[in-house]
Amino acid sequence: MNDEIVGIDLGTTFSLAAFVRNGKAQVVKDTSGNSLIPSIISIHADGSVFVGTEAQRHCLTDPEHTIFSIKRLIGRTLKDLEKDLPFIPYQIRENIRDDGRTVLTVKIGDKDFTPEEVSAIILGEVRRLAGNPTRAVITVPAYFDDSQRQATRDAGKIAGLDVLRIINEPTAAALAYGLDRKRNGTIVVYDLGGGTFDCSVLSIADGVFKVLSTNGDTHLGGDDFDHAIIQHVLDDKLNIKTKLDARAIAALKLEAEKTKRNLSSNDQAAFNLDSLPTLGTTPLEITKENFEHKIIPLIERTITCCKKALKDAGIKTTSVDEIVLVGGSSRVPLVQKMVQEFFGKKPLTSINPDEAVAIGAAVQGEILSGKRK
């Protein structure tokens, strides 16, 4: 039996697990060395279930049986989701259960699944890759309410996990950097993920974190950077004005994401049209300069959120002791530059920004087990 405590970051776009072993944090990797599991599932009429990378492939070929971004639905009602509905491509229903509770379900093929059940399938895969531990610490956004936290707990239970603690993602990120060892101070956690942006202001007093304020945008993240590249390709490079079908849009998105990642470490990157032969044959060159020009307004929106969070916490930028960058999109060099300029201080970036939250959850597990020195 595996009685280690696993830390799990259940993300909107990616999920992953980590352990602290002999005082050292390590993320769980699959056989190809990937730690990030796409938070996507795909269920078919013949009963076959795909999770993660396998399910991602089905996004293109079988969108009706593929579900992503389930985190946006967990613990919510239709009324909560009014603003989100235009972004959700799958069918959602609201059902009143025997106990009077309202639950949402998503339709996959001819079956209905609750967000807890879908999340449990993702957690089950994370758990399997982690060697089937039974005890877990799972992270949630700081703004999650009781219902969203409880639903996340329930998802863990369905996946066979004893959820010892649900902790806030920004707190986990701060724990990953060992900031709980600081006696006192103010920490800003800037988390730019795939679909969402969160800025949290935390205080630390005698090793205990408190969330002073949060601000953010539930529709701002790496997806928007991808869209900026797609728009650049269609408008400036190919001059295509006609509407494309869902399959072409999905293929463009996959390619844009690849190009974007390359632009984090290169001044230019190719945008291949192999999967889109109707649009052209020769690969396009996208420059970092053009990409950055397109995303400045998006990054400015994140800075506006930071300003609001600081104002609500009654904190000036000069009183911030540490800035922690998390979320895969904080790898974009211009993001780091603009954050540093705003706070007038170099943010902490030494831990992989898409692994920090899972590592912090594992550190919390180590604390709970009494093994932390």
Does residue 191 carry a catalytic annotation?
yes
Is position 62 an interface residue for ligand ATP (rule: CB under 6 A)? no
Specify whether the CB–CB gap between 114 and 73 falls below 8 A: no
Is position 14 an interface residue for ligand ATP (rule: CB under 6 A)? yes
Does residue 162 carry a catalytic annotation?
no
* Interface region with ligand ATP, contact rule CB under 6 A, candidates 19-27, 104-112, 253-261, 297-305: 253-261
Specify whether the CB–CB gap between 364 and 8 falls below 8 A: no
* Interface region with ligand ATP, contact rule CB under 6 A, candidates 116-124, 208-216, 239-247, 255-263: 255-263
Q: Which does 255 bind (CB under 5 to 8 A by kind): ligand ATP, Mg ion, none?
A: none
CA dihedral over 254, 260, 261, 263, signed as positive or negative:
positive
Nearest Cα neighbor of 220 from 337, 299, 309, 323 is: 299
Q: Which residues between 188 and 227 bind ligand ATP (CB under 6 A)? A: 193-196, 221-223
Phi, psi of 91 (to 5 degrees): -80, 130
Q: Which residues between 179 and 198 bind Mg ion (CB under 5 A)? A: 193
Q: Which does 154 bind (CB under 5 to 8 A by kind): ligand ATP, Mg ion, none?
A: none
Which positions ≥6 away from 28 have C-beta within 8 Å? Answer: 6, 16, 17, 18, 19, 35, 126, 129, 130, 131
From its phi and psi, is residue 2 left (phi > 0), alpha (psi between -120 and 50) or beta? beta
Closer residue to Mg ion in complex, CB, 193/222: 193
CA dihedral over 332, 333, 338, 340, signed as positive or negative:
positive
Q: Which does 75 bind (CB under 5 to 8 A by kind): ligand ATP, Mg ion, none?
A: none
Is position 327 an interface residue for ligand ATP (rule: CB under 6 A)? yes
Pick the catalytic residue: 169, 198, 224, 226?
169
Pick the catalytic residue: 71, 117, 224, 288?
71
Choose, by CB under 6 A, the member of 261, 308, 345, 372 that binds ligand ATP.
261
Which positions ≥6 away from 48 have C-beta within 8 Å? Answer: none
Which tokens is 122 given? Answer: 């993702």
* Interface region with Mg ion, contact rule CB under 5 A, candidates 6-14, 220-228, 293-301, 305-313: 6-14
Q: How far apart are CA 217 and CA 305, in angstroms?
A: 8
Q: Contact positions toward Mg ion, by CB under 5 A? A: 11, 193
Residues carrying an active site annotation = 9, 71, 169, 191
Q: Contact positions toward ligand ATP, by CB under 6 A? A: 11-14, 36, 193-196, 221-223, 257, 260-261, 264, 327-329, 331-332, 354
